[in-house]
A and B are shown apart, each in its own frame.
Chain A
Amino acid sequence: MMFALGPETVLQLILLVPGLGAILIGATNRFPNLRDALSLLIATALCALAVWLLLDHVAGGIARLQLTPIVQGLPILFVAEPIGLVFAVLASALWIVITAYSIGYMRKNNEPHQTRFYICFAIAMASTMGIALAGNLLTLFLFYEILTLSTYPLVVHHETDAARRAGRVYLGLLLSSSILFLLPAIIWTWFLAGTLDFTRGGILAGKIEGTQAAILFALFLFGAGKAALMPLHRWLPAAMIAPTPVSAFLHAVAVVKAGVFTILKVGVYIFGVGFLASVQASEWMLWVSAFSLIAASVIALGKDDLKARLAYSTIAQLAYVTMGVCLATVMGMVGGAMQLVTHALGKITLFMCAGAIYLATGKTRISDMRGLGRVMPFTFGAFLLGALSIIGIPPLGGAWSKWFLMMGASDAGHLAALGIWMLSSLLSLAYLIPLVARGFFLPLQEEEDRPQAQGREISVIRLARLREAPLWCVVPACITALLSVLVYFAGPAIAGFILPALGP
């Protein structure tokens, strides 16, 4: 090797690669093939760097990078820690998949402004990395806001009136919540603790108590508007107006996960699990997120538009993480972190399938999708796996997050939470599985009028009748579906990696 990679260099590179990548993508505007190849290359490089950091951390390295102060005494600081590393590796790995998917989707759909699309994607990715590796709250907040701003052009991609309206909701809600709640919460924390560094065991112990702690905690939870806690969830369904790759990646992985990741970090490193439990600041927020969970699931049941249903399902699934944090137990936090991973894999699969269905058939309404499983078996197979993972059925990753969350609930003695989660699993079964069942077992919408022979041949998939979306779109969905399975086997390892960070 020409030069040895130090952890500090890698931290710099992990921010620079997507940042410079955005510039390079802009420079290759005129050569779409080169531009798309470059996007893939950057994504791969970023993932390799994130994995390097992860391995370095496992080997005992402490990666830390300090830059200029934004305000006196508060530098831009990056520190690699387990939860952030898991998030960074997850996001960068899925970025590769979604880039491949975007290439297929954007080309097949003849989307305009593709260069802008990839540039904004890369900037969003850089800010996601910044959030994942942030060493203090202010750095996290900085990249949190950049993520909001850089995804706005992606949401209004089509520049129609509807897109503009959706964009207003998106930017309005996300920026307002972060300025109105998150920023005061951060400044209040700074005022109380004199530091904003993410510290094991938290920094607030003994500095605040009672109602004030509860208010501060609520400010953080609502301030992280990206976590889509009701009633601040409207931006998520609104953002579904974006092209599907955006919905898939940003609104199942990067943006929403940045929200719950913030909440996790605040729970673990600002309040600290022990302190959070002792001041009982989170008790009432548990009920708020439980409401969010059930209400969003019920709304999802009633949505006929596939992306809208998935959006509400996302709101519900994010509330799992919030509830996990609100339980204020170690297992609850582990469950929250696991949910962050498994839901990302599951939901990105579902969104990619939704996009593939749209590309192949032009259909967006669930009621029109019956019988499609027979002509798109790979897409529907992937969808089934993703759905099962989200519901939480072994051997899929989602089973682990539910497992740890429920352990957290029983540690906290919260039987009600257990009940809510059982109910919501049933609800998610009800809003996800009918699509697959009807896809495989009912005749195609277009062929319904034709007389059908009773019996065997209806459920047969014939290769000659396959009408799948382009390979670039189907293969990524299958990959993430298989990853969902893999994560089931890696589950204990991931939990074991995160666990040491949660103690005092």
Chain B
Amino acid sequence: MILQHLAILQVMLPLLAAPLCVLSRSPLLAWGIAALAGLFALAGSFILFAQVLNAGVISYHIGNWAPPWGIEFRLDAANSFVLVVVSLVGAVCILYGRRSIEREIPEDDQPLFYTMLLLCFAGMLGVTSTGDAFNLFVFLEIFSLSSYVLVAMGAERDRRALTAAFTYLLLGTIGATFYVIGLGFVYALTGTLNMADMAVRITGMAGSGTLRVAFAFMIIGMGLKLAIFPMHLWLPNAYAFAPSIVTALLAGTATKVALYVLLRILFTIFSPAYPFESQTLQYLFLPLGLAGVFVASIVALFQQDVKRVLAWSSIAQSGYFLLGVSFASVGGLMASIVHLFNHAIMKSGLFLAVGCVVYRTGSCSIASFRGLGHKMPWTMAAFVIGGLSMIGIPATIGFTSKWYLILAALERGWWPVAIAIVAGSLLALFYFGRIIEAAYLQPSTDDSTITEAPLSMLAPMWMLTISCLALGIDSELTVSAARAAAEALFLDPHAGLPAHTGP
């Protein structure tokens, strides 16, 4: 019974838990509710993922209205995998968050903070699950609006969070609007909002100018959300000034969800078979991806604030996603999806480690990291492992990502791109090297007695760190899941009837 409705409960439960947090009034209770909802989503996403792998696509008709008239939640190998990523990072961040939020958010606001966190979380799960392009927009707005608020709540620590949130809001809204404009055009052409249905109806319309304009609007809209270079300007400030846990959550999930939507647009609604799309991939995504990797990595080298270094590094990673997509091959797509998963794990782990440092020292400038290698050994060890993973040292998940990206570039015969990918990871060596050297080899600036972060923060963070190593040593699970996801997206998005249908 519950299993049958899991696809919708997965999204609705966190959504319904959000107002409960407002009512609870007590930070601890609100945290408990949020944590329960997070764990439920995590368990649910794993069950759904297993179901999809075993039994094929799940199609759930909301209110029992059959698609394309009703809203359909459609889970295939691609989005059920993204669902796992989102709920995993979300659950870990919520579990980790209690002490960090106590430190960074005033007590009265804490229940509201959890409310926003849950709304954001539910929104992302909804975006990922839905098969309806307009419903996707609705969830996108739920998640975006709440994330603007979440970023703004960093104002307690630094007032600049307000302007950062405002920039984020402006650009995010433009992005969402562009998406909906594009969607409007497609709707005008096809009269349907169901993505799979849309895909069927627009075949043969490749010559239509309206369709191309729609494509452009939707791509640019999602590009803004994904912070594709040069549409990344909102990201560094938003990440740097948001509360630590929000940064970790957004870095691990928001851009990943945006990437997922981009993949849906590119491969489910449209297809690389359309000349305008294959040209976009090759002549727009490839150069932008390369530029993003290098420009953002080089900027990261000169940052004095660790959160900013990581934020610019995230923009660089968006470049890698684009590269993988631009190959327009199963291999490239798989590399992108592997990297989507891996980057979510490692970047969230890194931001959580920074959160521990902020918790103890109140600052996250590189100078404040001095000497922390000895004072906060567990936190810094996790940071080092995350950093090594970002560089792409073997036996970490970052290596798996790089391996498949380079392999995909070689398969395509684009060896200069392969060289660019390794050169990009070299830049990561330098920007992480600076921080790690400061932590271990430079004496601390003051004699304050900083101690290790509390266990309730270390344990969730180390869960990510350990998966960073374990899945790097044995990548069978992620790689086969990503391969299934890539094939689901790339090969035949419309083939096959729903394996089992909801009420």
Contact = CB atoms under 8 A, between A and B. Distances in A.
Interface of A: 67-72, 76, 138, 141-142, 145-146, 149, 156, 159, 163-164, 167-168, 171-172, 175-176, 179-180, 183-184, 187-188, 190-191
B401 to A, nearest CB: 10
Nearest to A146: B395
A388 to B, nearest CB: 40
Contacts of B120: none
Given A180-B426, A184-B406, A187-B410, A70 B437 contact: no
Given A72-B483, A179-B391, 14 more contacts: A68-B474, A70-B395, A70-B399, A70-B400, A70-B473, A71-B403, A71-B479, A72-B475, A167-B437, A180-B426, A183-B406, A184-B406, A187-B406, A191-B407
B502 interface: no
B425 A179 contact: yes
A156 B438 CA distance: 13
A69 B403 contact: no
A163 B407 CA distance: 38
Nearest to B434: A168
B441 interface: yes
Contacts of A187: 403, 406-407, 410, 418
B475 A176 contact: no
A69 B406 contact: no
Contacts of A188: 410
Nearest to A183: B422
Nearest to B475: A71
30 contacts: A68-B474, A69-B476, A70-B473, A70-B474, A71-B404, A72-B479, A72-B483, A138-B394, A141-B394, A146-B395, A149-B388, A156-B441, A164-B437, A164-B442, A172-B433, A175-B391, A175-B426, A179-B391, A179-B392, A179-B422, A179-B425, A183-B406, A184-B418, A184-B422, A187-B406, A187-B418, A188-B410, A190-B407, A191-B407, A191-B410
Contacts of A68: 473-474, 476
Contacts of A164: 437, 441-442
Q: Considering residues A71, A172, A188, A191, which has the most beta carbons from chain B within 10 angstroms of its beta carbon?
A: A71
A215 to B, nearest CB: 10
A469 to B, nearest CB: 30
B419 interface: yes
A145 B425 CA distance: 14
Contacts of A76: 473
B296 to A, nearest CB: 18
Given A168-B433, A187-B406, A188-B410, A69 B474 contact: yes
Contacts of B407: 187, 190-191
A175 B429 contact: yes
Contacts of B64: none
A149 B473 CA distance: 17
Contact of A70 (B426, B429, B472, B483): B472
B423 interface: yes
Interface in B339-355: none
A416 to B, nearest CB: 33
A208 to B, nearest CB: 13
Nearest to B470: A68
Contacts of B393: 145, 149
The A contact surface, by secondary structure, is helix
Q: Considering residues B392, B393, B425, which has the most beta carbons from chain A within 10 angstroms of its beta carbon?
A: B393
B411 interface: yes
B438 to A, nearest CB: 10
Contacts of B441: 156, 159, 163-164, 167
A283 to B, nearest CB: 23
B480 interface: yes
Interface string B425-456: 11001100100010001100000000000000
Given A71-B479, A145-B394, A180 B400 contact: no
A466 to B, nearest CB: 40
A142 B407 CA distance: 18
Contacts of B433: 168, 171-172
Contacts of B480: 72
Contact of A69 (B388, B402, B475): B475
B429 A176 contact: yes
Given A184-B406, A187-B403, A176 B426 contact: yes
A191 B400 CA distance: 15
Contacts of B400: 70-71
Nearest to A159: B441
Contacts of B473: 67-68, 70, 76
A68 B470 CA distance: 10
Contacts of A156: 441
A188 B479 CA distance: 19
A180 B423 contact: yes
Contacts of A142: 394-395
Contacts of B430: 172
A176 B424 CA distance: 11
Contact of A72 (B391, B399, B411, B476): B476
Contacts of A70: 394-395, 399-400, 472-475
A171 B418 CA distance: 23
